[in-house]
């Protein structure tokens, strides 16, 4: 009887549902990625398990046909500008939220983080309307401004735990030695916050490169990032080789994956989840 009870305790059908579901999802995801990767090297692929022949020429065709050199340059400029502005504005804001207590602090923090909690499309259309009104849509400045809206809360979200971990006695000791507010911030806090700044910067970089909705709504022909250019190549009317589009998709996937790995080296995702729970309404 004891053995039977033990076997029943070990065999719980519902305990296998989640692993099986996750495994099925990962298998389908891997199959999808592999099909795109293989097709990007295929000469032609119709009705067989593998292409009849392989070639790398589609990557050269994608580079010239879709102007990937210019697209990557725009993507890099937009991402770096967003990272710089988000850090410049977000680090002081995170310091104020981490160190100062004031009435309505929880509400202010929640409002600041709404762009993170809400889907981008919910505020993307009104934001694009404002940018079009001020003739910023279709320009690099408009794309940077649109991506800055969710990037700034990300910086605050990541930096606040790092600032809270620094003992306030360090700042007090610096002030006792004659350091002003600017000197405390630049010579004491910033060196201690370098890991957090790197984490926030890489995380914003990943999000900006992957941000489709906001960029698509305000980008013009000369201000498209890689993900918007990929969408345009796939869905704009015209005859285009699917292999060249898949080659472009592989380039985007490699870029995003590299940035994501770098982000995970500097930031712990559980810190972000905990920070969101602290400010989200119950």
Q: What is the pLDDT of residues 182-221, one digit of tens each?
A: 888 878 888 888 888 888 888 898 889 989 999 999 998 8
| Mean pLDDT of the 129-143 span | 91
Does residue 276 have a pLDDT over 60? no
Tokens of 211: 């941000």
| Mean pLDDT of the 38-48 span | 82
Q: How confident is the model at residue 171 (pLDDT cuts 50, 70, 90)?
A: confident
Packing angle of the helix pair 242-266, 57-65 (nearest 10 deg) = 90
Position 5 scores a pLDDT of: 53
Question: Which is higher by pLDDT, 39 or 101?
Answer: 39
Q: Which domains does the chain have, with CATH numbers?
A: 57-279 (1.10.3720.10)
Q: What is the mean pLDDT of the chain?
A: 82
Question: Which is higher by pLDDT, 105 or 132?
Answer: 132
Position 8 scores a pLDDT of: 53
| Mean pLDDT of the 141-168 span | 88
Task: Tell me how far apart the alpha carbons of residues 33 and 27 are, in angstroms, rounded to a whole number.
Answer: 10
Nearest to residue 36, comparing CAs of 262, 247, 263, 279? Answer: 247
Token pair 């079009």 in the structure block, residue: 132
Alpha carbon of residue 109 to chain centroid: 20
Question: Which is higher by pLDDT, 129 or 50?
Answer: 129
Residues 279 and 108 sit within 8 Å (Cβ to Cβ) = no
Q: How confident is the model at residue 280 (pLDDT cuts 50, 70, 90)?
A: very low
Does residue 29 have a pLDDT over 50? yes
What predicted TM-score, i.e. pTM, was given to this entire model? 0.79
Tokens of 56: 């790398």
Q: What are phi and psi of 53, to 5 degrees?
A: -155, 165
Alpha-carbon torsion 107, 113, 119, 125, what sign? positive
Does residue 139 have a pLDDT over 60? yes
pLDDT in tens, 66-100: 888 899 999 999 999 999 999 999 998 888 888 87
Tokens of 112: 């600041």
Collect all residues with Cβ–Cβ distance below 8 Å to 219 and sequence separation of at least 6: 138, 142, 143, 225, 228
């Amino acid at each position: 009887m004891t053995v039977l009870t033990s076997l029943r305790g070990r065999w719980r059908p519902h305990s296998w549902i989640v692993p099986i579901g996750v495994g099925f999802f990962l298998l389908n995801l891997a199959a999808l990625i592999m099909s795109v990767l293989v097709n990007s090297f295929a000469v032609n692929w119709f009705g067989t398990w593998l292409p009849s022949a392989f070639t790398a020429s589609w990557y050269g065709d994608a580079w010239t046909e879709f102007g990937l050199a210019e697209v990557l340059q725009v993507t890099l400029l937009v991402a770096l500008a967003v990272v710089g502005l988000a850090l410049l504005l977000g680090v002081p804001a995170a310091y104020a939220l981490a160190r100062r207590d004031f009435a309505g602090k929880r509400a202010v923090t929640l409002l600041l983080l709404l762009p993170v909690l809400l889907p981008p499309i919910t505020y993307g259309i009104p934001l694009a309307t404002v940018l079009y009104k001020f003739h910023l849509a279709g320009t690099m400045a408009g794309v940077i401004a649109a991506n800055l809206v969710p990037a700034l809360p990300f910086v605050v979200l990541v930096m606040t735990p790092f600032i809270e971990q620094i003992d306030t006695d360090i700042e007090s000791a610096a002030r006792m030695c004659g350091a002003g507010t600017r000197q405390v911030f630049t010579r004491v806090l910033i060196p201690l916050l370098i890991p957090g700044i790197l984490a926030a910067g890489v995380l914003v970089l990943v999000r900006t490169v992957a941000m489709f909705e906001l960029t698509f709504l305000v980008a013009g022909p000369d201000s498209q990032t890689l993900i918007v250019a990929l969408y345009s190549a796939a869905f704009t009317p015209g005859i285009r080789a699917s292999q060249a589009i898949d080659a472009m998709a592989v380039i985007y996937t490699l870029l995003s994956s590299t940035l994501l790995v770098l982000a995970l080296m500097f930031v712990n995702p559980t810190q972000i989840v905990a920070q969101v729970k602290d400010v989200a309404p119950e």
